Amino acid sequence: MLQEQGKALLFDIDGTLADTDPLHLAAFNEVLGPHGHEFDHARFGKELQGFSNASIGERFLAHEAPERRAVILDEKERIFRELVSGQIQPVPGLMALLDQADRAGVPMVAVTNAPRPNAELLLSGLGIAHRFRGVVIGDELAHGKPHPLPYLEGLRLAGASAQAALAFEDSRSGIQSATAAGIATIGMRTGLGHADLIAAGAVASARAFDDPELIRLVASAMAW
């Protein structure tokens, strides 16, 4: 089917396509613990989730030289990839939604603050890398989330308008990024609750992609 001009679905990866946040939490605690920082689920959601490694390093490793911060956070990502390898599962309902978008000719783009090796590992592990028009990496741009630039780049890759697009995010910074780009955003309750997601700017929240309200909102926005 011909692509529907102007429409697009844009997805964060971690915590949105797959519930990987507990593994990120474990990896962060392993590398930041020796520097005096320990995170529980609530603190992870407020201070780490969705932020770029550069900003995390500036905040929690300010006593280290920038080069050393990068080494420490690269180690965090290596630990994460080791933990997640072989156990990547999609959030329920994801595959059905991607199938529907493919049938309707609606392009999809992944937009993430994760390093490219992580993004590629998760997309390939889910077997969905080929579904996406492109993968936007926040650290490869002048600004990552919560700045709108990553989602503006996602719209450009999709050839879509913000008004005709829909985004899916699980973090405050991600929702802020997408909504600042003018995109209506559904918050995924893999980590944060409904109230937190709505407060960040989401138009609705859902526990998974098979949530009836999410299915209704997507069908309405995409007119399928």
Check: CB of residue 148 under 8 Å from CB of residue 168: no
* pLDDT (tens digit per residue) in 50-63: 888 999 999 999 99
Mean pLDDT, the chain, as a whole number?
94
The answer for 223, left when phi > 0, alpha when psi is -120 to 50, beta otherwise, is: left
pLDDT of residue 3: 47
pLDDT of residue 2: 46
Please give the average per-residue pLDDT across 112-128, as a whole number.
93
Check: CB of residue 16 under 8 Å from CB of residue 169: yes
Residue 7 pLDDT > 80: yes
Record the pTM: 0.85
**What are the strands of the beta sheet with 160-169, ordered from one edge?**
134-137, 108-112, 6-11, 160-169, 184-188, 204-206
Running DSSP on this structure, what letter comes out for residue 115?
A: -
CA distance 209 to 93: 4
pLDDT of residue 1: 42
* pLDDT (tens digit per residue) in 184-199: 999 999 989 999 999 9
Active site residue 211: no
Contacts of 184 (CB under 8 A, 6+ apart): 165, 166, 167, 203, 221
Active site residue 12: yes
Confidence of residue 85 (pLDDT cuts 50, 70, 90): confident
